Amino acid sequence: MPATRPDVLPPIQVGAWLRVGGAFQGANDPSKVNDFAMDNAYGELHAGGKIHPKVSVTLNLNANMVSFANPMAATAAGQIGATVGIMDAIVSFDPMDELHIWAGHLLVPVDRANASGPFFMIPWNYPGFLRVGGDQVVSAPLAGPYGRNNGAVVWGDISGGKLTYLAGVFDNANVASSPLFSGRVRLALWDPEPGFWGNGSYFGDKDLLSIGVGGQFQNNGPTGTKDWAEVNVDVLVEKKLGGGSFVTGEAAYYHNSVDDFSVSDSLYVLAAYATPPVGPGNIQPMARYQWAKIKGNDGTNPWNIDAGISYLIKGPALRLLATYGHTTLPAAGGDISGNSVQLGAQAIFF
């Protein structure tokens, strides 16, 4: 009988992901762009690998710089100006493509934006978070810090990733609250889109027509007084045009069951075009419009428009970006509006 050979597992994978950015916006008057602040210095350290042919572990850490109104006072008080923590801590059981069971602290599957994360979407900022100065309107589904939560997800790819399902339950380590049930189904009609994660763009690597439907439910909801229910639908179209150029279109709509003066409905639409290579990369102009409806509000509803341009040196792995944004929010004393010019750079070492 031949000797049994031990399984040879692939080496552990390690990656470093970085984003730095700053914005021009008035400190006292957000409608002006006469001040500048470095508002983003963020990094992730990714590590993962197999401990068995069907079992993997993932540990991702992140660090985010914190801005203080008085940096000298913060230093004197011993505040280092950064938060560091665990982003993902996952044990993955992967018996077959059609069935995976992942548990730990992990991404909440609900929509494309959360699955993509900021590194793999065309705009610099997440949709659903509209800010003017210190005022903010949030229309995103429930999740947790960085879109993660404590829980477990059952998911699988059918027909090689033409159809993907994800269903999870999360509790945020809080036994006093009801669990959050969250799920998503994704159908790819052109190239397949397999995997747990999902990009907001594949940066010219795929011809993609993908439709997703997601939903959430939590008894007594985030306020503890009313059940939370949410449903959303999104579409991503990305097509290669030849010569290294590609075009992208994306749209999403969300509906929530909420009390008066909370966001009940929201949407965003995006269009982008990447030119053939100019020098070492592609030039990619884009525009995105966002809108939200506040239940019981008879005045202006929140809205935002972003118009930007990126230089894709290595797709999402190395890109530079500049974006002009305008946002209008309702307020007790009348509508407030803000303008900003965002500059950003990101680099990914896989």
pTM score: 0.91
Structure tokens at 32: 């002006």
pLDDT 10s digits, 94-130 = 999 999 999 999 999 999 999 999 999 999 999 999 9
- Decide if pLDDT at 147 tops 50: yes
**What percent of the chain is predicted at pLDDT more than 70?**
93
Identify the band that residue 70 occupies on the pLDDT scale cut at 50, 70 and 90.
very low
**Per-residue pLDDT tens digits for 222-243:** 777 788 999 999 999 999 999 9
pLDDT of residue 81: 62
* Segment (H or E) for 39: strand 36-52
* Spatial separation of the C-alpha atoms in residues 304 and 327, rounded to whole Å: 4
> What is the distance between the alpha carbons of residues 49 and 91, in angstroms, rounded to a whole number?
10
List of residues 6+ apart from 50 with CB closer than 8 A: 9, 10, 56
pLDDT exceeding 90 applies to what percent of the chain?
A: 76
337 C-beta neighbours (distance < 10 Å), count: 13
For 174-218, the pLDDT digits (tens) are 777 889 999 999 999 999 999 999 899 999 999 999 999 999 999
Task: Say how far apart CA 44 and CA 286 lie, in whole Å.
Answer: 26
* The predicted structure's pLDDT at residue 68: 46
Query: φ and ψ at 147, to 5 degrees?
Result: 75, 10
**pLDDT over threshold 50, residue 76:** no
**Which H/E stretch holds residue 149?**
strand 148-158
Q: How much is the pLDDT for 260? A: 73
CB 239 within 8 A of CB 207: yes
User: How many Å apart are CA 297 and CA 295, to the nearest integer?
Assistant: 6
**CA distances in angstroms from 165 to 45, 57, 306, listed in the order given:** 28, 21, 32
What per-residue confidence (pLDDT) applies to 143?
Answer: 92
Residue 75 predicted with pLDDT over 60: no
- Residue 336, Cα to own-chain centre: how many angstroms? 26
Residue 333 is predicted with a pLDDT of 74
| Overall average pLDDT of the 311-327 stretch | 97
pLDDT value for 225: 76
